[in-house]
Amino acid sequence: MAVTSDPKSKKLIIRFRVTGYSKQFYLNSGLKNSAKNRTIVDSRWELIQREISLGQFDATLERYRFGSKPPLPEVDNSKTIIDLWERFTDFQTTQLEATTILLNYANTKKRILKFPSQDLADAPKIRDWILSNYSPRMAWDLLAHVNRCCKWSVLAKLIATNPFENLTIKRPKRKSTDDDRRAYNPTQRDLIINAFETNQRFSHYAPLIKFLFWTGCRHGEAFALRWEDISEDSTKISIFKSCNTFGISKGTKNGKRRIFPCQPGGKLNLLLLEMRNSSSASDELIFKSRRGHKLTTNILGDCWRQSSTSPGVVRELSQRGMIHYLCPYATRHTFATCAIASGASPDKVAYWIGDTTATVLQFYCHPEAVVVDCPDF
Least confident of 6-10, 20-24, 245-249: 245-249
Q: Is it the case that residue 11 has pLDDT exceeding 50?
A: yes
d(CA 193, CA 203): 10
d(CA 66, CA 51): 17
Assess contact for 109 and 82: CB atoms under 8 A: yes
Give 371's pLDDT tier (boundaries 50, 70, 90). Answer: very low
Q: Is it the case that residue 48 has pLDDT exceeding 50?
A: yes
CA distances from 281 to 93, 207, 208, 221, 270 (A): 36, 19, 19, 19, 19
pLDDT, residue 20, reads: 80
Helix 106-113 crosses helix 81-92 at what angle (to 10 degrees)?
180
pLDDT, residue 269, reads: 94
pLDDT, residue 77, reads: 52
Averaged pLDDT for residues 214-229: 92
- Mean pLDDT, rounded, of the chain: 84
> ∠ at Cα 289 (285, 291), nearest 5°?
105
Averaged pLDDT for residues 40-64: 83
Q: Is it the case that residue 325 has pLDDT exceeding 70?
A: yes
d(CA 279, CA 302): 30
> Topology of 186-370 in CATH?
hpI Integrase; Chain A (1.10.443)
Residue spans of the domains in the chain: they are 3-64, 81-155, 186-370
Least confident of 18-32, 51-65, 176-190, 362-376: 362-376
* Residue 261, strand partner residues: 236
pLDDT, one tens digit per residue, over 74-83 is: 445 568 999 9
CA distances from 213 to 20, 65, 254, 279, 312 (A): 53, 64, 21, 27, 17
pLDDT, residue 1, reads: 54
For residue 35, what is the DSSP state?
Answer: H
209: nearest Cα among 334, 344, 293 = 334
pLDDT, one tens digit per residue, over 132-190 is: 999 888 899 999 999 999 999 988 888 888 999 888 888 887 654 444 457 899 999 99
3-state secondary structure 305-343: CECCCCECHHHHHHHCCCCCCCCCCHHHHHHHHHHHHCC
pLDDT, one tens digit per residue, over 99-112 is: 555 567 888 999 99
